[in-house]
Structure 1
Amino acid sequence: MRDLALAPPSAPPLTGGLADSLFETAAENPTLPMLARRASTASSTWEEITAVEFRDAVVDLAKGLIASGISPGQRVAIMARTRYEWTVLCHALWTVGAEVVPIYPTSSRDQVEWILRDSGCVAVLVEDEQGVMTVGSVCASLPLLRHVWQLDAGALDQLVARGEYIPLATVDSMRRIVLPDSTAVIAYTSGTSGHPTGCALSHRNLAFPCDTLLAGWGHTAAPPGEQGAVLAFLPFSHVYGLMIQGLCVRGGLLMGHEPDLGGESLSSALRTFRPTYLYAVPSLLEKIYKNFLRTAQQAGRGTLFERAADTARDFAAALERHRLGRGPGPGLDLRLQHALYERTVYRRLRAALGGRVRRATSGGSPLSRDLSLFYEGIGIYVHDGYGLTETGGGVTMQPFGREKSGTVGQALPGAEIRVADDGEILVRGPSVFQGYVGDETATRAALSGGWLATGDLGRLDAEGYLTITGRKKDTIVTSSGKSVAPAALEQRLRMHPLVHQAVVVGDNRPCVGALITLDPEFLTHWRAALSLPGDAPTREAREENALREEIARAVAAANSSVSRSESIRVFRVLPEPFDVTNGLLTPSMKLRRDEIVRHYALEIDAMYQSRSRPRRTPDHEETTGWDDSDNVFR
């Protein structure tokens, strides 16, 4: 039974639309800084926008939308990176009762056409000339589309000028008729196969996780007496990004916008904005860790970093045992080691993230326990969250003071989670979406008795902590009938500094295999550190052998967590990464597994054919003969 003393307070019920909280904050605390932006990636100065300035910008833009004929219930797409203008336009649309349709700016022409037509958008805001060209090329098939606004061509200023004659009372009257169950967003799923599907999310759906998290965990965003600060760099085109925006605006947190996810731009933004709370995805946290390691190795301190990292994980694991009542906590020797590395290593690592971050959330895909323990050990507890587009954001959180790494925490107050007999996670609560746009069949298939079938696999422990084990549709079944969930293996493979991406394969094959891509920056560093003697051909051959052995060690490390029948017996290193541009990643950076398997069908066939030595076996007995020497490098 759940300890009610640990249950956080419930969020107050929503009475209007998502824009209302901005107007309330501007009335109660007009000088509160709410948004921040910088003129360029080279700038270290952030311009702060107060609550009243933010509200006035929203009102002025709302007038322009009204003057342009945008009315309640109409849909307007935003196809831009994470920018200040995105947040202003989004709240202006909600103010007039319109529905926001986020589109990734990296979406293909076909994806843009599908989303605009399927949602029936009457207008779209694009960021630049490329966006105008993309939309323009499909306009002939979009009879409802009336406006294409270009952000970098001054579209928002033009809208403000167009609406100067609209009275403030008109804006207020439109805002006040927006109800909690009015649709706020049509969020399209990434479309790992087939066309993306539009999820209708109400104002209540989006507000519930934000308000619940703020009510119970808002105090963790910053030290007492300080305003929390969050750097928004994840795309608002994804529900995770929308939740971050909602948490900041509804919680009075200062939100900085950083549109460029490039390494140097993001690093500069973190150092200069200095967030108090970090929202990220596992791939970014993995990248930061590898950058820490590479920088230490380049400085000749690689061994020191690895010892410090091991100490951080051991220290965090001991802290966890103590807070869960399962151990005494770190011993004296471990505390002394940790204190030494705090002075020499950990504080420098935190400085690279701005120096003020003490807690973080990771979402989008599972975060490894080892990585979570590492960050906690250096002074940044990373909560691995769980949610999906259909739930308007997160539905779980770690109970404060009883956090358990390797899980995604417990269900939020007001939400319910259970696991079906086949391992599928089911969710019920105020954030569960209204349905799929124009697809009642899919809606009925996903919703039964108010319970959402998530398609994710997991398990609940006796204390109600949820662990994600994979996606139902991603489960691999080998020719011997063994079912394998690929997520954990892929996660462990990516922990090796050289491994950038990994896709586990093996459907109807005699064993599990893996397609691997390499981290180009770490590969360059690794090659330079080898310093092999000999002429060019000899050196290259030795280098390739060394690389093969290193990747084989990464595979062996990943296999150590699973049984032999589930382990990777063959692998192939691919010459290029999976990317949005080659169609192998979704715009939200998820693997398009079916497409990857199709794209690399010949390589997968060759991987299994090379040096395979199957022997006769009785029916239903797994084929052996696939040993470590069967690894194939390309």
Structure 2
Amino acid sequence: MANFVTPVNALMHWQKQHPQRVYLRQPIDGVYHEKTWAMVAREAGQIAQGIRSLGLEPGDKVAILAKNSAEWFIADLAIMMAGCISIPIYSTASADTVSFILKHSESKLLFVGKLDEWNKQAAGVPVGLKTVAMPYPTMPCHIQWSDWLAKQAVIDKHHLWHEQDTMTIIYTSGSTGDPKGAEISFAAYRYACEQLIEVLQAGSEDRVMSYLPLAHITERVYIQGTSIFSGQFSVSFVESLDTFADNLRSVQPTLFVSVPRLWARFQQGVFEKLPPKKLKLLLAIPLVSGLIKAKIKKALGLNKARILGCGSAPIAPSLLRWYQSIGLNISEAWGMTENLAYGTLNLPFRSDKIGTIGKAGPGVEIKISEQGEILAKGQGMMSGYYKHPELNEQTIVDGWLHTGDKGSIDADGYVKIIGRLKESFKTAKGKYVAPVPIEQKLAENSMVEQVCVVGSALAQPCALVVLAGEMKQHSQAQIEASLGRTLDKVNQHLESHAKLSHILVVKQDWNVDNALLTPTLKIRRNQIEQHYSELIHQQFTSKVAFEAGSW
């Protein structure tokens, strides 16, 4: 593999090696518009010249607020060419978060692209900050992307970066407090990407789809980084949420990474057409089983996938085993912004290690501290938190990243996450309860889409549950019976102080918009507890209770 210092070095290499090979595929009005390596290099060079024409200097920060698109990749490359540092912002970020990140990073320019509710986010853009609109419907901007492509020449000289220079600042979506900006160097980024290229054995026959937020380190490394450093495969994008399923079936990716919530929704989509009992019966018939599996995989668009991944949040082992039953092996992986999402992987896939997050990737060291915390070390680490040097000393000690996750390592080196160090709560009995393992057990019931175990200052903890949308076809009595059986099963294996008093079905879906989920779909535990505080402290006599209006 060529030794590229930056993604721009890789881009310029590949545009010389195979200029006409398609790199990016952007769907517009149902039609894929393809951009070759040469086209991407030229457009990035023109946008870079546009940035430079505004008087920005090396080291200035340039933000991107947009859904994934070919232009997102190109803007990121252009920012590097111009000598600036990219500041990605989640496309779902609130106006307050947009304002915080733009001010904290001292961004001098903002690229804006596809957004669902730009009218709400526009208030977060400081008055006077120059904005550039990507070629999609979006908020009013000072400059149009198309104007720069029409008027700007290709930048004549790219900025010369050193490998320890900061490439980007990734603001974590943390479940509490203001986001923290992790500074990522070119060296760390390249290292993580190149290690993954080897682990995934990425090649010219591969296809990927970029749809998870590019403001998150996983998509930035697993998809954007591996594609540009390998120079081997194309990246396709999604036109909209409504076209996602069609886009997935059209692309038929060979490498596909998702999050637990989407894997659960895929399962529910299968159950809508084939109820669980009927599917299980068909899969037990040898001559029919193979046909059913092939049909399901094709309908999902995953019939060509050779590697499937899952990360970002805990996933129920039962869900992974269900996918295995239809011939789809999903490998869990784990990482953080602070170690560039490159930590552990269950690759090659091992069925007997379902329930773990895999073992340390090549070049990564993992150990458990005396306090039970997972510690990680490797070359792919952040340089530090932007403007928060005091946090660096707490987070990386003697080269070891203190992850905040509690875990264990088995004899084969496979890691299991037990929960977060700071998530355990104390009940009124003075005993501590770790909620994550209990939540994982509850989530094995396919009726449960989201779950949060709470119990601070309660005599016994309880579980808040959001049902999968498809559950409306069942009666309340059926749901109550199913959840009741799950509650009994889970409680059998818990110590007396951790046994759940009841399950409470709530009516509101937890999402990014109501701030009960992070942009990466992790639950915001503190916000959920505050939101349902009054409900949590009500007295319920039944094992399964329903919030008024939830049914």
TM-score, normalised to structure 2's length? 0.91
1:602 equivalent to 2:534? Answer yes
State the partner residue of 1:306: 280
Q: CA deviation at 1:515?
A: 0.7
State the partner residue of 2:523: 591
Letter in 2 for 1:258: V
Name the SS for the 1:16 alignment partner. Answer: coil
Distance 2:402 2:2 in 1: 26
Name the SS for the 2:257 alignment partner. Answer: strand
Q: Is the 8 A contact 1:66 1:163 kept in 2?
A: no
Distance 1:97 1:562 in 2: 56
Distance 1:259 1:460 in 2: 41
Taking the TM superposition and a 5 Å limit, the aligned residue runs for 1:148-547 are: 148-151=131-134, 152=136, 155-164=144-153, 168=156, 170-171=157-158, 174=159, 177-219=160-202, 227-243=205-221, 244-251=223-230, 252-258=232-238, 260=240, 262=241, 264-297=242-275, 302-307=276-281, 337=285, 340-343=288-291, 345-354=292-301, 355-400=303-348, 404-520=353-469, 522-526=470-474, 543-547=475-479
State the partner residue of 1:3: none
Name the SS for the 1:360 alignment partner. Answer: strand
Q: CA deviation at 1:425?
A: 0.8
Letter in 1 for 2:102: L
Q: Is the 8 A contact 1:286 1:495 kept in 2?
A: no
State the partner residue of 1:330: none
Name the SS for the 1:88 alignment partner. Answer: helix
State the partner residue of 1:83: 69
Letter in 2 for 1:456: D
Name the SS for the 1:101 alignment partner. Answer: strand
Taking the TM superposition and a 5 Å limit, the aligned residue runs for 1:28-43 are: 28-40=17-29, 43=30
Query: 1:129-158 CA deviation, whole Å, 9 max, x = no partner?
Result: 953773455524xxxx64112223672222
Letter in 1 for 2:229: R
Distance 2:471 2:315 in 1: 23
Name the SS for the 2:190 alignment partner. Answer: helix
Q: Is the 8 A contact 2:206 2:255 kept in 1?
A: yes
Name the SS for the 2:243 alignment partner. Answer: helix
Q: CA deviation at 1:195?
A: 1.0
TM-score, normalised to structure 1's length? 0.80
Q: CA deviation at 1:497?
A: 3.0
Q: Is the 8 A contact 2:193 2:225 kept in 1?
A: yes
Q: Is the 8 A contact 2:317 2:444 kept in 1?
A: no
Letter in 2 for 1:59: G
Q: CA deviation at 1:14?
A: 5.1
Letter in 1 for 2:234: L
Alignment: residue pair count:
536
Q: CA deviation at 1:46?
A: 2.5
Letter in 2 for 1:23: M
Q: Is the 8 A contact 2:442 2:448 kept in 1?
A: yes
Name the SS for the 1:632 alignment partner. Answer: strand
CA shift in 2, pair 1:554/1:159, >3 Å: farther
Distance 1:385 1:595 in 2: 27
Name the SS for the 2:501 alignment partner. Answer: strand
Percent identity over the alignment is: 26
Query: 1:44-68 CA deviation, whole Å, 9 max, x = no partner?
Result: x433322222222222222222222
CA shift in 2, pair 1:94/1:132, >3 Å: farther
CA shift in 2, pair 1:371/1:75, >3 Å: same
Q: CA deviation at 1:340?
A: 3.8
Structure 2 alignment gaps of length 5 or more: 138-142
Query: 1:524-550 CA deviation, whole Å, 9 max, x = no partner?
Result: 333xxxxxxxxxxxxxxxx43333223
State the partner residue of 2:109: 123
Letter in 2 for 1:396: T
Distance 2:40 2:300 in 1: 27
Name the SS for the 1:501 alignment partner. Answer: strand
Letter in 2 for 1:346: K
Tell me the C-alpha RMSD between the 2 structures: 2.4
Letter in 2 for 1:256: S
Q: Please identify the structure whose Cα radius of gyration is greater.
A: 1
1:94 equivalent to 2:80? Answer yes
Query: 1:327-368 CA deviation, whole Å, 9 max, x = no partner?
Result: xxxxxxxxxx5664112x110111023221232111101233
Greater fraction of residues in helix: 1
Letter in 1 for 2:381: V
State the partner residue of 1:540: none
Q: CA deviation at 1:95?
A: 2.1
Query: 1:10-61 CA deviation, whole Å, 9 max, x = no partner?
Result: xx69551122212111112222221112113xx2x43332222222222222
Distance 1:287 1:203 in 2: 36
CA shift in 2, pair 1:294/1:566, >3 Å: farther
Q: Is the 8 A contact 1:548 1:633 kept in 2?
A: no
State the partner residue of 1:26: 15
